[in-house]
Chain A
Amino acid sequence: KAGVTQTPRYLIKTRGQQVTLSCSPISGHRSVSWYQQTPGQGLQFLFEYFSETQRNKGNFPGRFSGRQFSNSRSEMNVSTLELGDSALYLCASSQGRGRTGELFFGEGSRLTVL
């Protein structure tokens, strides 16, 4: 079974630009979560989508948004990029319900904002 796939793996943007990151979950998984990882703040929860609906959201400004498609693939978008948005963005998928609970992570998208 293929794992969680994130694209692109690396990207460089300048301040003020926007970026879209993509995540393809494990087949059959309906929940996709996004996390931001930085050396200073560690891993912080951005949002979670389940069956195309956002069902949980972290404490990030409105510049961070996401969506999920009918095939469970998800995208997150960051508009008006700031230097502080430089981070590793991790996507995780899970079945999304029940006690199984395990999240499977992708390798991440490394965003550098200049």
Chain B
Amino acid sequence: AQTVTQSQPEMSVQEAETVTLSCTYDTSESDYYLFWYKQPPSRQMILVIRQEAYKQQNATENRFSVNFQKAAKSFSLKISDSQLGDAAMYFCAYRDYTGANSKLTFGKGITLSVRP
């Protein structure tokens, strides 16, 4: 079974600084998706960034980028120029690639606080 591990329960960053959130996973599959989701205090989960395992290039979305190391099964999220609105819980998630399966396996999450 696939597992996702986020070992840091909390992190804090100064506004405008850069922070990296760590995630490791375990799978025997070669083709899969990895995601970072953000859950603000209002609770609605929002997709931050997505990486497909067959793509070697790291995904980037504005201030958010990932460091995807397939051999090491590592998938970290870098947030640049942190803003107060980035404060939230962040979940790393895994999904097999099959057209008939939308199941996500989540890590425990990390609470990010942003200091003004």
- B46-68 residues with Cβ-Cβ distance < 8 A to A are 46-47, 50, 52
B100 to A97, Cβ gap below 8 A? yes
Cβ–Cβ contact A99 & B52, under 8 A: yes
From residue 20 to 60 of chain B, which have CB atoms closer than 8 A to chain A? 33, 37, 42-47, 50, 52
Indicate whether A79 reaches chain B with its CB closer than 8 angstroms: no
Q: Which of A33, A50, A106 contacts B44 (CB 8 A)?
A: A106
A48 interface residue (CB < 8 Å to B): yes
Chain A residue nearest to B99 (CB atoms) is: A97
Q: Which among B47, B101, B109 is the interface contact of A42 at CB below 8 angstroms?
A: B109
Chain B 65-116 interface residues, beta-carbon cutoff 8 Å to A: 91, 95, 97, 99-109
**Is chain A's interface secondary structure helix, strand, loop, or mixed overall?**
strand
A56 with B101: CB separation less than 8 A? yes
Complex interface: chain B residues within 8 A of A90 (CB): 45
Instruction: List the count of A-B residue pairs having beta carbons below 8 Å apart.
Output: 63
- Decide yes or no: A45 and B104 within 8 Å by CB, A97-B99, A99-B52 being known contacts: yes
A103 touches which of B43, B99, B100, B104 (Cβ 8 Å): B104
A102 touches B47 (CB 8 A): yes
In the bound complex, do residue B107 and residue A55 qualify as a contact, i.e. CB atoms below 8 Å apart? no
How far, in whole Å, are A108 and B74 apart by their CA atoms in the complex?
Answer: 29
Known: A33-B103, A42-B107, A97-B100. A108 touches B95 (CB 8 A): no
Closest to B101 in A: A56
Task: Give, as a whole number of angstroms, the nearest-CB distance from A31 to chain B.
Answer: 5
Say whether B106 contacts A31, CB under 8 Å. Answer: no
- Give the interface of B toward A (CB within 8 A): 33, 37, 42-47, 50, 52, 91, 95, 97, 99-109
The 4 closest A-B pairs by CB, nearest first: A105-B45, A43-B106, A97-B99, A42-B108
A-B contact pairs, 15 of them (CB 8 A): A33-B102, A42-B106, A42-B109, A43-B109, A56-B101, A56-B103, A96-B102, A101-B97, A102-B47, A103-B47, A105-B37, A106-B44, A107-B42, A107-B44, A108-B43
Hey, which bits of chain A sit against chain B, CB under 8 A? 3, 31, 33, 35, 42-43, 45, 48, 50, 55-56, 58, 88, 90, 92, 94, 96-99, 101-108
